[in-house]
Structure 1
């Protein structure tokens, strides 16, 4: 399957909010690309002028690939709590990136140094969990936070935790992403 079809689905999903007369033919996509029926977890990232404009996704596969892209594209555009709803003017300028995630795997590690050795920058996305706090960074976040310390420190902050939480060995899950972007 050409992954660019996922960009088409994501863009049309957002566009149909602005133009209610446009209908997307899901059956056409599914009959043309059987992989769209597989259960997969995805993240949709929107950027405007190179800056983040929305990012929403699923860490666990619970929808078909088609539905996950369709739903998360709309959520990234209109329901990311960090941003106002996307305007039509912005829609015409955004770039879309679709990330298909591999299933996350719990990482066994003994201490921070061991953790540092096991996480591979630019390859691994990371989920950090401690009690009721959780956050994730996609593998592409390494492009902005390219040292282990920057990446993990920012991930802890995103989860409303201090970096020192690593001394309590929180749950760390790793995953990878196949991505396609405009």
Structure 2
């Protein structure tokens, strides 16, 4: 999909978007000319994740490619920094402490399984992002990077159910559908 150079350009764009929103000059400005690449105009799902001293500070994105990668990075950088309901909006004082990560997603595909015993064979920890959809139009996703904190299928899907507002064991009930996707992830050095 993208080269490392293109990915790091997107990370710089996400940071610049947050800096501009806060009325600050960009440390490493990105020019329109740099963004004028065919690969960056393609439509893919994009997430922007912010960390502060190793802790999650915001994460917002779109699963489907409804806009160009560049537009998705800009929109989700603003949303992750200022509209993630789990956190207060980012402040100017926090900017030097933030680490920015951009994930570009493949198209999600349904994960057909008959029983929960099939899941260890079908899910690939560390590689698969998972979308869980439950009863009553509930749903949530975890990027593949979340496997680092929740390394077992039981932990991963249990927390994903909780994120969707479901009981932790709902994934075992057969009342959920799962889809998977993969990402290309680019981040600033920690």
TM range (shorter): over 0.9
Report the 3-state secondary structure (helix = DSSP H, G, I; strand = E; otherwise coil) of the residue aligned with 1:28: helix
Report the 3-state secondary structure (helix = DSSP H, G, I; strand = E; otherwise coil) of the residue aligned with 1:172: strand
Among 151, 155, 158, the alignment partner of 1:150 is: 155
Among 106, 109, 114, the alignment partner of 1:105 is: 109
> 1:170 Cα shift?
1.4
Q: For the residues of structure 1 that align with 2:85 and 2:117, how far apart are their CA atoms? A: 34
Q: C-alpha offsets along residues 88-147 of structure 1, whole Å, 9 cap, x if unaligned?
A: 011121000100000000011001111222001000000000131000000000000011
Tell me the residue number matched to 1:178: 184
Among 31, 34, 38, the alignment partner of 1:29 is: 34
Among 53, 59, 76, the alignment partner of 1:55 is: 59
Q: How does 1:120-135 map to 2 (within 5 A)?
A: 120-131=124-135, 132-135=137-140
Q: For the residues of structure 2 that align with 1:169 and 1:110, how far apart are their CA atoms? A: 12
| Structure 2 unaligned blocks of 5 or more | none
> 1:164 Cα shift?
3.2
Contact 1:111 1:169 in 2 (8 A): no
Q: For the residues of structure 1 that align with 2:20 and 2:118, how far apart are their CA atoms? A: 47
Contact 2:108 2:179 in 1 (8 A): yes
Among 8, 16, 37, the alignment partner of 1:12 is: 16
Report the 3-state secondary structure (helix = DSSP H, G, I; strand = E; otherwise coil) of the residue aligned with 1:19: coil
Q: How does 1:40-119 map to 2 (within 5 A)?
A: 40-119=44-123
| Structure 1 unaligned blocks of 5 or more | none
- Which stretches of structure 1, 4 residues or longer, exceed 4 Å deviation after superposition? none
Tell me the residue number matched to 2:173: 167
> 1:30 Cα shift?
3.4
Q: C-alpha offsets along residues 18-50 of structure 1, whole Å, 9 cap, x if unaligned?
A: 12787x77642333x221110111111100000
Count how many residue pairs are aligned between Structure 1 and Structure 2: 180
TM-score when normalising by structure 2: 0.89
Contact 1:29 1:36 in 2 (8 A): no
TM-score when normalising by structure 1: 0.93
For the aligned residues, what is the CA RMSD?
1.7
